Every structure is written in structure tokens, then in C-alpha cells.
Structure 1
Amino acid sequence: MFQMNLIKNLKTSYEIVLSNDKKLLCHLMGGKTVIFDTKTWEKVIELKKPNNPSHLHFSQNDDMLYIKNTVGTFCVYNTKDFQLIKTIKSGKFFQIEEGNFALLDNPFTILDVLKINDKKQVCTLNFETGIYQVLTELEGSHIKFNQSVTNDNTYLFTLYYLKEINGNHYSRQKLVKVKNPLTEPSYSFESLLELQNWDLVYFEPVHQVYIFVHKDYELTIMDAELKNVLKKSNLIENGIQSTDEYFVHIASSNDGNYIVLTSNDRVFILGFEDLTPIQIEEFKYACFAEFSKDDTYFLVGTWSKGFVFDNILKGVKL
């Protein structure tokens, strides 16, 4: 597959994450989080709390592992002996929404979407004190965390809402940027009316551009200010056959040479310069594909299996 060497076969893998020092690899199954030592590829431990994990992050120095499940429960483990340090759930005054989250510089502090007084907002939440700070005043039916842009201390969310036009209601989206959440919090949003109903959005940090993926296999690249469309490309015109698939994940290689698109049936590796397909593989019920942070590995997750490949594309520019 992908003309790459398969290093490790995994079971169900909704998400696969390497520690920053590359010593540990985690993958999320339906009822547990499984951790491997990347030197031996032997299993280190299985963490059964929280049940139904959906997203995880290592702290910057890899001393803690944060795991969130599908109903918003968090468990924090130390990585020395994987003892459970902290558990936090939705409470009387806030409800933690399902979805990905960001770790902030302060210990035990995250950026996430909370439902407060029946409204969903972007908030900081400190696990030790239980104190949260509401950073936005958004009106919408759903808010999804997309990505951390660490160099700019900016965090990207998509806001979904309904707009009434001539008596009819239409689904609309706005890209929300939250900046400096711990020091001088602010937020702004882009309507991007010409790019409505995108499936995925991703900020590519090497080239400093936004990539939008649409339902009709079209990709739109915009500049960092979201003022100009730099390029449009249709994957069907580049030889990809249309199916009933839908896109679920987007990422790039660390060197910026490649874009990875995951649909529910296939994984595409595209060359960044012209967005042409380099590798395409079928994976039934795919949900995740990314290069590791230093491009050493290529990671693919599906509802039934996971794969760790030796990335032969590292450093190769088309």
C-alpha cells in the first residue's frame, strides 16, 4: 500500500498519535486507548478510561496524555507510569461538547467548545479549578474545532448556522479565529460566502495558505488573509473517479510537499504544487490519515484497522 513498508498493523484506529519525542504511539479504539513503544513496537498499556475515546493530545514535554471521549469526558494520565491524574466531566454550569480540542500553555488548561445556558461557545477550561472563561459570543447550531496554528497562537473553528433568505433557511458556515486565549483573548470570523458548504478546511503552515475541500471534489486554496483565491483544482479533472464517498480529514506533510485527504473509502496523497494525485489507496470506513510530525511515518486509521507505514516520501519534492 502506498508503495511504503508496513511497520505495524493495528486494530480499530479512530485516531493515531505519536508523542512529540516519537517514543510512544497511541491509537483509539471503541472502548480504550492503546499505547505502544515505537522502539520495540510492543504494547505498553491499555487505558480503559475514558470509554469510547475520540481525541487525544500529548503535552508539549510529553509528561501528560489528555484523552477526550465522545460525550465530553476527559482523562489526564502521566506518561511515566500511566497513572490517572485527573478526570473532568460536564457539570451543572457547562456541558463539554463532542469534538477535538487544543492544549494551552498553562498546565491542565484546554481550549474547547462548551455549551452554557443552551448556547455553544469557545472557552478555556482549567481542569484543576474547574473555572472556565467564555471567549466568544457566537450564534449557531454547531461549532467545530479545526486546528491550532501554533506560530500565531491562533485556533481555527468552523461555525455552522442557518440563514433565512426569502423565507427559506440555508445552512451557512463561518471560519472563526480565536487568538491569544490565555493572555489577550480575541476572535474574528470570515463569512467566505463564495466558499459555502465546504467539507474541510486546513491551514497549511509551510506555504501559509488555507485549503478548502468541497463536496464536488473541488479544492480551493486561499492566502493567509483569506482575501484572494490562489488556486482551484478539481480532483475529478485530475483523474480521480467520483463515488458516493465524503471527506472526513485533511492534513499535510511536515515539509509542506504533500496534502493528505481522507474520505470514508479512500486515502489520497496529493502533490502540493499542482494538487495532482500521487498515491490513492482504498480503505473501507477510513477516518484518519496523517504524516507524523517529522514525516517519519504515515499513519492511517479506519473503523476496523490501523496502519503505520515507513514514509518513503519524506524529503521528496515533486
Structure 2
Amino acid sequence: MAIGLIDNTLVFEFPEVHPDATLHVTFQRTLRVPDDGRDHHLPPGLGCFPLRTVDDLPQVRIPADWRRRGGVAMPMWQAEACWLSFSSPSGYPFALKIAAGMVNAVNGKFWTDELDVVDQDYVEVPGQPWLDGFCVAKDTVRQFVAMPLGQDYTAEEQVTGKTEHGGLQLLARPLRGELWEQRKAEWGTFEPACAMQCEASPPAAGAMGLAPGGSIRQQINKAQELMEDWEPTVRSRCFVHISNSLAWRAATGATPPASPPTAADYTRAGLPWFAWYDDRPALRGSQILASLASVNALERQRGEAVLPENEGFEPPEPVKLKPSRSRDVRSSF
């Protein structure tokens, strides 16, 4: 198994399982939807966040826990949002676990390396083309918003009461190779669909975690594969560390991407929002994640103002995406 970077795409490869077993994950810059009581349509992708392997960063300028865990790193502005895009070039199936720090983004439970098929804690790809946030209810997620560690905004801090990891961690487990060969023989020519993946100290200066933001209409599909369909021992785990953009510039010398426009300004410019529907059954959402306070709710409680430009807007009719082209269309803005 191997994890690599190609043009800011995180690549998981399992050649020992099957030559087709490759998974791609990108981290898309996007608009932060207002936390205004509405469920918003899917925001666009505004380009990939730049990724760097931890080994390629100046070791004296990065936190010790980054060096210990390895993985990759990316910059985000405070209160900036992101969504994760998944694809499997050949259509090869994967079970993908995603956590904000040590808190699973699908069911809200503490991270483990094993798959929980009873209280599903992973997404299947192809089939789940992206993830925009924490699964809080059926057809609803709370957007991933970057916030500093140590201030109790992040999902990890709210659930565990600790500031240990921050960032993201991903774990990919491929389908059994012989089962994939059987399916290819049965299906003949296969057209790939859309698909996601990556392994306590006080928070380091500039380190960020993900907190729940505004609500987005997004379905998280129930798993279709059986537990025995997945490779029993083969898996690959990756940490994705998040640095605030100023610390990123100091550590790398590179200029981080400019802060994105507000959702209201984007909408006033006549640019599109998106809707994507799947006829498969959806997860009901996690009560643990639904109980978390959003960044906006916490700032109101504390009398703080950490979310700039939370202006609401009149939502336009969304562009309805077809599964065959949904990933490329949404990522082209």
C-alpha cells in the first residue's frame, strides 16, 4: 500500500490487493454557508487546497506531533470552509472513514481503525462523491469550518473535552481483489462513478481543527457492501494537518490561497449552487454530532465575533447534478 500526492490530490494505492485499487481525495476550497437556520444547497468548489507532505516541510518550523504522525498538511483561514471530494479512477470500491481529530464525522463516535457496520462510521466510494460536513440528520450535514484549537469550538474538543489532534484523519479499506475480478467479469465494461481517504500535547501555534458551521442539504448513503466484502487486514491511514494561513506562510514561505468570497456576494454575482440526489437509503444522522454547538451558536453564547460575514441571502434555484458528471461540474468554479 502507498499514499502519495499528485497535483494536490491525495492518492491511496493498494497494488498488493489489485492494480485497480486506487482512491483519490481532494480538499476543496469553498464558500462558508451562513448559519442562519436554513438548510443550504451544496456550495461550489473553488479549487483545491494546496497539500504538502509533512516530510517536505521545514522540520524545525512545524509542531512535534505533526512530525510524529506524518501525513500531509494544508492551510486554511480561520472560519474558512472546505469539502472533501472522492473519486476512484477505475470505479474500485472503498470503505472510507473520516474524522475531525479523533471524532468520526459520520457517527460522532471516538476514532477506531475498525469498520463499524452496525452504527455505520464510514462512507462507500464510488457512490458517495463528497462530504461537506458532520452528518447531523437525514439529508443534512453541518459544514466543516476551520477554527483554532484550544478554544473549544472544534467537534473534537466538544465531544472529547480534549485538544489533542486537530485536523483530519482518513482511513481507506479496499474491496477484496478477487471479488472485484468477479464483478468485472459479470459487468463487462464498467463506467466509474464518483468516490474519499489517509495515520496529547497542547495545541501548537497555528494548528486548526474542524468545527460545525451552517447546515447543508447532503445525503450520506447507507452502506451496501457486506462486512466480509472488504479486505480484512489491508488498510491505509493518513493524518491531514491544518495550519492557519499565516503560520503556513511562516513555515513554508508559500503564499496561501486568498480568502474566498462570502456566500451572499457569490450569489449576488449570479453564480450557481448545486443539488444532488441519490435514490439509495440515507443515514439518519448522528445524535452526538447533532448535539454539537455550531461556531455561530457558541460565539453568541460567549459574546464573541469570530465568524465574519454571516449574512444570509435568498437562495437561487440550484443546478441539479447528474451522478455521471457531478464531481467535475461542482469542482469547476
Please tell me the TM-score bracket, short chain as reference: under 0.3
TM-score scaled by structure 2? 0.22
TM-score scaled by structure 1? 0.23
Structure richer in strand, relative to its length? 1
Structure richer in helix, relative to its length? 2
Where relative contact order (Cα < 8 A, 6+ residues apart) is larger, the structure is: 2
